[in-house]
C-alpha cells in the first residue's frame, strides 16, 4: 500500500485520526537523519505492526509518538492536538493516554511485580481496593500469578517482558506502543501476548507494535508499516490469523 493510500484510508473515516505524521524527519544532534519525510495517519481503534531492520528507525518513531523526542521538521498531531503548539504542561496528560512496552522494560526494581503493574492506576488516583482484583487477574493472564510479590531483579528476562506488558495495558490506554514485546518469550507466549493486544484493540485501543518477529506479523494479518533507511512504506500484510 502506498503512503498516500494509507493516509487517505485513515482520513476518510468520520473520526479524526488518533495520530498523524506530516512530513516528519528526525535526527540526533548533527548525525544523519534517522527518519526522513515520514507521513501517515492512524484511525482510532486500528492495529499496525512497524517492521524494519535494526537501525531502521523503529524505536525513534515510537519515541516521537510517546513524546520522548521532538521531530527535526514536520508536524505531529496526537489525540487531535498539534504537538508543536501544545503547552508543555499538557504533555503529561497526553502521556497518560499512552501505554508503552519498552524494549529495556524500565521496571521499578524496588517495587513488587504487583506494584509495578499498579503504577499507572496509582498515577490516575485510583484506590487499591478498586484495582487490586484487576491487577491480580492480569498478572495471572501473563503467567505471573505466582510472582506477584517478586521484585524485578529476581525475574528472568521473559518474566520482566511480560510484567512490562501487563503494566502498559492495565489502564486500557487509548494508544498502546510496544517495542519488540515478544523478543524475550517463546513462540506460544508470543502468541498469547499478541492475543492480549488483540483483545485490548477490540475494546478500542489503537495498537502499534514494532517487531522483528516476521512470523507473528505474517500470522496476524494486521497492516504493516515498514521502515528502511528512515523512510516509511506500507506493504500489504497477508490476511490470516494465528
Q: What is the pLDDT of residues 138-189, one digit of tens each?
A: 999 888 999 999 999 999 988 998 999 999 999 999 999 999 998 878 888 8
pTM: 0.87
For 62-98, the pLDDT digits (tens) are 999 999 999 999 999 999 999 999 999 999 999 999 9
Q: Which residue has the cell 484506590?
A: 127
Altogether, the residues listed in the chain come to a count of: 242
Give the mean model confidence (pLDDT) for residues 191-206: 91
The mean per-residue pLDDT over the stretch 114-128 comes to 94
Alpha-carbon distance of 43 to 156, in angstroms, equals 36
Contact assessment for residue 190 and residue 216, using Cβ atoms and an 8 Å cutoff: yes
Residue 27: closest CA among 69, 81, 89, 66: 69
Query: Helix, strand, coil proportions of the chain in percent (round to 5)?
Result: 40, 20, 40
Do 207 and 185 form a contact (C-beta atoms < 8 A)? no
The pLDDT score that the predictor gives to residue 174 is 96
Instruction: Give percent of the chain above pLDDT 70.
Output: 91
Amino acid at each position: 500500500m502506498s503512503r498516500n493510500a494509507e493516509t487517505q484510508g485513515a482520513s476518510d473515516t468520520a473520526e479524526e485520526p488518533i495520530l498523524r505524521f506530516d512530513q516528519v524527519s528526525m535526527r540526533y544532534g548533527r548525525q544523519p537523519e534517522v527518519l526522513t519525510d515520514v507521513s501517515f495517519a492512524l484511525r482510532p481503534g486500528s492495529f499496525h505492526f512497524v517492521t524494519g531492520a535494526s537501525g531502521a528507525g523503529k524505536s525513534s518513531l515510537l519515541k516521537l509518538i510517546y513524546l520522548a523526542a521532538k521531530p527535526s521538521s514536520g508536524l505531529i498531531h496526537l489525540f487531535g492536538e498539534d504537538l508543536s503548539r501544545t503547552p508543555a504542561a499538557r504533555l503529561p496528560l497526553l502521556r497518560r493516554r499512552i501505554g508503552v512496552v519498552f524494549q529495556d522494560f524500565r521496571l521499578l526494581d524496588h517495587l513488587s511485580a504487583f506494584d509495578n503493574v499498579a503504577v499507572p492506576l496509582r498515577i490516575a488516583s485510583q484506590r487499591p481496593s478498586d484495582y487490586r482484583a484487576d491487577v491480580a487477574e492480569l498478572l495471572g493472564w501473563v503467567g505471573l500469578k505466582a510472582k506477584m510479590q517478586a521484585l524485578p531483579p529476581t525475574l528472568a528476562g521473559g518474566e520482566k517482558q511480560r510484567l512490562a506488558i501487563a503494566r502498559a495495558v492495565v489502564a486500557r490506554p487509548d494508544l498502546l506502543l510496544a517495542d519488540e514485546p515478544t523478543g524475550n518469550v517463546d513462540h506460544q507466549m508470543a502468541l498469547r501476548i499478541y492475543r492480549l493486544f488483540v483483545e485490548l484493540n477490540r475494546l478500542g485501543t489503537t495498537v502499534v507494535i514494532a517487531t522483528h518477529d516476521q512470523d507473528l506479523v505474517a500470522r496476524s494479518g494486521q497492516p504493516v508499516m515498514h521502515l528502511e533507511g528512515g523512510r516509511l512504506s506500507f506493504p500489504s500484510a497477508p490476511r490470516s490469523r494465528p
